A and B are shown apart, each in its own frame.
Chain A
Amino acid sequence: MKRRHPESLAGPAALRASAVALIALFTVAPILATVLYSLATVWRHRPLPDGYTLAWWWATLSDRDFIAAAGRSLLLTLATVLLINLLVLPPLYWSHVRNPRIRPLLQLAALIPFVLPGIVMAAAINRFVGLWPVTATLQATPLLLLLSSIAVSFSAYLWAVDSAMRSAKIATLCEAATTMGAGPVYILRRVVVPNIKHGIAIGSLLAFASVIGELALPRIITGSAFETIPLWQLREMRGTDADPNAVAVSSLLLLILLFTIAVFVIRRGRAGVPGIIFGVDKG
């Protein structure tokens, strides 16, 4: 006879499993529909398309407008992520290792973009640079778009890396390394970065995802002058020459890119998911 084991806290496993299966289904359904759209010849009112073709993929991948938009989006996004790394990492490192007093300041800074919605910032930045003749030349330029993208999307990165540094106890590690006679550059390269690279990866992923899908900033700041993928998709979803199949293909390309990075990044560790307590000092 098998004995009944004590009630578990987690609840019935079957209930948990079905809850997760439901979310998986819910998450996957739009993606599946998009996949079918990208492969369908004609799709009349039936659950599945009438026939399949790869023509949309070829058409989209050879569409000049799309290629140009993809190039602009990737360039903008990668530049933003790179600059966020360069801008945020040093002060964050400094706040953990040298001067803990600037940490609350950084955490406050990371909350600001939460308070200032993208659409508000897009409008406000345009207005702000228009105040002086020198900066007014920036109006509607890709450079201003890049700077704005940094401003609105650095916080997720900051939170992810901050928590990585905290859980890796960077300050203690650095002290230990210093007593062994290691120099600052060596410490940064061999001690700090290897221990927080997971946090850096998560933070970069979050920044990447938010910039590449951003609509408000490019629409208000540059408009059609610098058409990114979301703007291109928006054009293809509306109007007289709307092409839903092309939108499907481009969405999937982005999704594959994002999911590959996400799985790669998240499967590596249990920690590092930016949780709810970020921005709230435990002190």
Chain B
Amino acid sequence: MLLPLGFVILFLLLGPALKIAIDSFEDEAGGATLGNWLSLLDVPLVRRSILGSLWVGALVATLSTLLGTPLAWAVEHLRPGRRSLGIAFLTVAANLSATALVFGFSAAFGTVGLVTLAVQELWPGFMGVDLYDPTGVVYVFLYFHIPLFVLLTLPAMGIVSQRLWEAAAVCGARPRFFWWRVGLPMLLPFLAAGWFLMFVWAISQYGVPLALGGADAGIDLIAIRIGALIETAGRSNRFGQAACLSILLIALSALALLVYHRLLRRAARWIA
């Protein structure tokens, strides 16, 4: 039963990951070396991509959490019919393909986009989003990270229930006291976990920054740098730095997921 799936996991996930890990310690001739790792930070482009990924990941995760939380609350408390429709919208927004997303986003919010031009009619100074600026990536990421955050935290919003709210009211608690002592502490593990998932999700994005122009457009992210390094390396063995960056990306994701898991261990019980 487990065998075919185990095969896929072993030979298409774990094996390749291990191979990459070994690659990161091999020089071009196949000998063992620490050179790839030691030289990693010497390359300005690589250094910039690491900082870029950390910055974009943290910014996108933070903004997704801040904007997604009230939105998730609102969606959770819609009437069932509208709620399903809202979820359908969010699912589509969260799952748009990278190319369609970048195209549609620039057609709507870019410097000559539909929304930008419409706003300019009312407010001539408005410039829209400069997608080819490195921060442009953040806007496009937010477009699908916020819906994803909402979808992921939706089940958690239900735990702060009308039942507990009423229990608090009968206990003599004002709304603010309820939120301070019960509501927020209950939601916090889920929101923090959501932050870490969004971080992981953001740093592993490749399609969207590529469609935005990738390395040529000055987008410095680990994933883009890996792609560029692979393309220049071809089938040769000059793979060391790409391997190092891959392992770095894996380690970052694993660390964030570990924190995510810890955060939810106790709180997961609260979801009935």
Contacts and interface: CB of A to CB of B under 8 A. Distances in A.
Do A and B touch each other in the complex, judged by CB within 8 A?
yes
Interface of A: 6-11, 15-17, 19-20, 23-24, 26-27, 29-34, 36-37, 45-48, 86-88, 90-91, 94, 102, 105, 109, 111-121, 123-125, 127-128, 130-131, 147-148, 150-151, 154, 205-206, 209-210, 212-216, 219-220, 229-230, 233-234, 237-238, 244, 247-248, 250-251, 254-255, 258-259, 262-263, 266-267, 270, 273-277, 279-282
Nearest to B224: A119
Contacts of B147: 23, 27
29 contacts: A11-B77, A20-B71, A20-B86, A29-B109, A36-B114, A87-B8, A91-B1, A105-B2, A111-B257, A120-B204, A121-B12, A123-B239, A131-B19, A147-B12, A154-B8, A209-B95, A210-B95, A213-B97, A213-B99, A213-B100, A230-B97, A230-B207, A255-B100, A275-B151, A275-B271, A276-B190, A276-B194, A277-B155, A280-B268
B143 A274 contact: no
A276 B152 contact: yes
A113 B155 CA distance: 23
A115 B88 contact: no
Max chain A C-beta neighbours (<10 A), residue from B108, B194, B230, B271: B108
B51 interface: no
B62 interface: no
Given A29-B114, A234-B210, A266-B84, 11 more contacts: A11-B73, A20-B71, A23-B86, A29-B115, A47-B114, A118-B204, A121-B12, A233-B99, A262-B92, A273-B151, A275-B155
The 5 A-B residue pairs with the shortest CB-CB distance, nearest first, are: A213-B97, A30-B104, A117-B204, A275-B155, A124-B16
Contact of B13 (A31, A94, A112): A112
A114 B153 CA distance: 17
A115 B105 contact: no
B206 A127 contact: no
Nearest to A244: B103
A282 B272 CA distance: 10
A5 B160 CA distance: 20
Contacts of B265: 280
A216 B261 contact: no
B90 A23 contact: yes
B154 interface: yes
A151 B249 contact: no
A123 to B, nearest CB: 5
Contacts of B73: 10-11, 16
B99 A212 contact: no
Contacts of B75: 20
Interface in B14-55: 14-17, 19-20, 23
B78 A20 contact: yes
Contacts of A266: 84, 87-88, 91
Max chain B C-beta neighbours (<10 A), residue from A102, A216, A274: A216
Nearest to B118: A47
Nearest to B164: A9
A120 B225 CA distance: 11
A263 B112 CA distance: 31
A237 B99 contact: yes
B82 interface: yes
Given A27-B92, A33-B115, A282-B268, A116 B99 contact: no
Nearest to B12: A151
Given A16-B74, A213-B97, A123 B92 contact: no
Contacts of B204: 117-120
Contact of B15 (A37, A118, A128): A128
B99 A115 contact: no
Nearest to B183: A9
Contacts of A270: 80, 83-84
B5 to A, nearest CB: 5
Max chain B C-beta neighbours (<10 A), residue from A109, A128, A148, A274: A128
A73 B37 CA distance: 38
B103 A123 contact: no
A215 B207 CA distance: 5
B96 A216 contact: no
